[in-house]
Amino acid sequence: MGWLFNYGTTRRQLIAERTKDWETIGAEGIVVKSICLAHCYRGSSFSGVLWSVWERTFTKEGQSVRPAERWITCDLLQYKKDEGWGYKDIDESMGPCRYSCPLKYLEMVPIEQYGGNAPWREGVRGYHARQAENRRQRRLRRAG
């Protein structure tokens, strides 16, 4: 999918729009509710990544009619002069080429229960291990 821009949208407005909960009534009166459980922005003033964890429930007359679903999304965000902020949405199944997803998001969406992209998750863990090692090395240089 390509990039989507809405003229004049600020980053704050775009993040609010992309993380807004929604609900609809589907076939046979089943209420489908999607809730953003967590989100964070990682990036700069002109581009970055919006990580989100979503949960979708399916109920009818207040009773669950099928198991809840959870997944991790990665929205690439970008600012364009004279257009505002736009996004390109990607989910975990697509194996995003970004790895700054918070580790706790992986815990919120256990692959054994909800499925997911194991190679991408290993990339995320590797990214965080490298970041931790870099921080450790900087502390050692400052102390030494």
Render pLDDT for 20-47 as a digit per residue (tens, 0 to 9): 999 999 889 999 999 999 999 999 999 9
Q: Measured between alpha carbons, how far is 104 from 60 in angstroms, rounded to an integer?
A: 31
Q: What percent of the chain has pLDDT over 70?
A: 99
Q: Which two tokens stand for residue 78?
A: 């970008």
- Domain ranges in the chain are 4-143
Per-residue pLDDT of the chain (144 residues; tens, 9 = 90+): 689 998 889 999 999 999 999 999 988 999 999 999 999 999 999 999 999 999 999 999 999 999 999 999 999 999 999 899 999 999 888 887 899 999 999 999 999 999 999 999 999 999 999 999 999 999 888 887
Beta strands in the chain (DSSP E): 4-5, 22-25, 31-43, 47-60, 63-80, 84-91
Q: Measured between alpha carbons, how far is 86 from 47 in angstroms, rounded to an integer?
A: 9
